[in-house]
Structure 1
Amino acid sequence: MKQNSPAAAPAKSLAHRLAADIRRDIISGYFAPGTRLKTEVLTERYAVSASPVREALWRLEGEGFIVLLPNQGASVRVVDDDFVRNIFEIRSVIEPLFVGRFCRRCSSADIDRLKEAAEKFRQAGTHPIDTDAMDRHNRDFHAIMIEEEPNEEGIQVIERYGDLINAVRSQHRMTEGRARMRIVEHAAIIEAIAKGDVELARQASRDHVLAAGEDFLEQMRQSRRKIHKLNR
């Protein structure tokens, strides 16, 4: 059997770490949507050669974080309305499957943990809203339901695009109205799971995802309107 050369593994490891560093800078907003990612800039910032930069960019293109165009190079993906709709449409299929499986296997202790995370989310969403705490407890709430999920590829899809969506969402403040709706939606998911009603749990999850998508799109529209007014 053909063996990889000793240098191959370190090179791949470097490209993997570099992709993680660039991904983190995209998520944090250091590289804004639409920013050109020039090789010379990346080699200087991360103190690496051009070769691992190219491999890291290929990885990030596959993950959807950047766009590679012939004769134009790489740029950070612009998150537009169509992209957001597509991502939430994908999530509206995958997440209900996970919730349905969780409903079948969960214990009373798991349900108690869900309730605890939902209550912390509710408290953070009470005026005044603590957006950072809400995001943290929301992640905890959903993470409980995929802890033993066997479909790792599906989880990776959700997490991969979730990071990109969250990077954009962090630029928009959640309204109190949307916070209240999320609280209600979490309660509906918990109620269905506690009843052991798989189909109802799936539907509650799907409704939750689609509502989040519509809210996100509306936040983007409002931001565009504000920018348009400022530029008039």
Structure 2
Amino acid sequence: MEASFVYKEFGVSVIAPLMEAYDLTQGILSTVVDTDEELLAFLRSKLRYFVFLNEDVALPVSVQYETPATLGKDRLAAVVGANYLQPGKDILVIDAGTAITYELIEASGIYLGGNISPGMTTRFKALNFFTKKLPLVTEQDNVPMLGTSTETAIQAGVVNGIVYEMDGYIEELRVKYPELLVFLTGGHSFYFERRLKNSIFADINLVLTGLNRILEYNVEN
């Protein structure tokens, strides 16, 4: 059985009924905020096998990132998920969320690292916050090549700029990796999927797939 849930707040009061309803026996916890020690203690006491994802956890890929302690766990999980779905392939993982991240994993299973760029909503907010006259706008389904008003100029500048950025990374990396596959994930993945001229795999659940693979790998080993 597969299911996913979204909560504004997450803790023991949320996970306890889920564990009972689904009879969970193993699990993995990944967080990019401060660790909830109460939740950690609860999971360790209730699950037969539990993994808290940090830089010491065994992984099915080799990580060459120089500062693994600061590597975002969502970035790492997305790479593992892509490698699991397409093993033995050179892969670029693009996660389009609050930030846009670009991660490269080679066919050999070596994760080389990646880049971090402001996400679409972050760019809209930054233009509004750091200037006196630019309004706060949001993305629209149809964005022109060139804006004909301040609002459409911002929309076109942000959206088209991200598209050129993504396509630029893909084209540059394909010089060295001609068979490069591209996974696009994150909250804005489907928004950009149809705008990129390069072929991609859009998978909004890539991070969850990667977390599950990390859990399975640790249970197996």
* TM-score using structure 2 length: 0.27
Q: Which has the higher strand share?
A: 2
User: Which is higher, the Rg of structure 1 or of structure 2?
Assistant: 1
Higher helix share: 1
